[in-house]
Amino acid sequence: MPIRTTTLPSGEAVPVLGQGTWHMGEDRSRFAEEVAALRLGLDLGLTLIDTAEMYGNAESVVGEAIAGHRDSTFIVSKVLPSNASRSGTVAACERSLKRLGTDRIDLYLLHWRGGVPLRETVEALEALKAAGKIRHWGVSNFDTDDMEELAALPAGGNCQTNQVLYNLTRRGPEFDLLPWCRQRGMPIMAYSPVEQGRLARGGKLDAIAARHGATAAQIALAWTMARPGVIAIPKAVRAEHIRQNVAALDIKLAPEDLAELDRLFAPPPRRQPLEMI
């Protein structure tokens, strides 16, 4: 079944569920297992894969997984802020392209704010787009003030997404950042939507999960994907977890479920600094 989609400001539809790769490629003995996991995800319709130059050798894992399937995948990667100068961004992108074994990255993000002026990084991203090395660009770990500064730049309106830490235990973005992005038709990408597995444990979600014949992790993921304009990118290597992630798309949380989740994990009453892990 096709994966539900949301739309980038460019008008391109992208899946609301993708595959994360943080920590992949760090253990060479698991390389084949991680490649197989990503390929299973692709077979199940998880065609959006998120990676970064910071994630060790993860880009090489992705490159192996998408070999022969490049045109049906949507690849997201990121440049480190320490590499985000005008020339450094271009060089970092070239290295990522080589590891990925492709001639373009679909969505290239600045991983977080650093010491390089934002204007300079945006100019480099625009140059990469003009050269066909990337199709779109965006940012990651940007708070609302950062997004305002970005939007004020000459090409700042070309930003397509903001990837942030967002899940049931990290609801701060709901107060101002998510509304800011939604007003501009810009989806956010939620990393660690199951809080690195912690939401699957502890028992808080067990009663809701039992009502739906699901796991606690699936409830946490379903809640994230039910938010308008949110793309979830959980990492999974075990086949059963990948299948469970896909099945979470079919979970329809009832109003009473959502009310219970609000009691268990209260929405933010005021603006909070953006969290990162």
Q: Which residues are catalytic?
A: 55
Torsions phi, psi for 76 (to 5 deg)? -115, 130
Q: Tell me if 24 sits within 8 A of 61, measured CB to CB.
A: yes
Q: For the chain, how far is it from start to end, CA to CA, in angstroms?
A: 33
d(CA 75, CA 135): 10
Residues 6+ apart with CB under 8 A from 165: 141, 190, 191, 192, 274, 275, 276, 277
Q: What is the largest CA-CA distance in the chain?
A: 54
State the DSSP H helix or E strand holding residue 135, giving kind and residue range, or none if neither.
strand 134-140
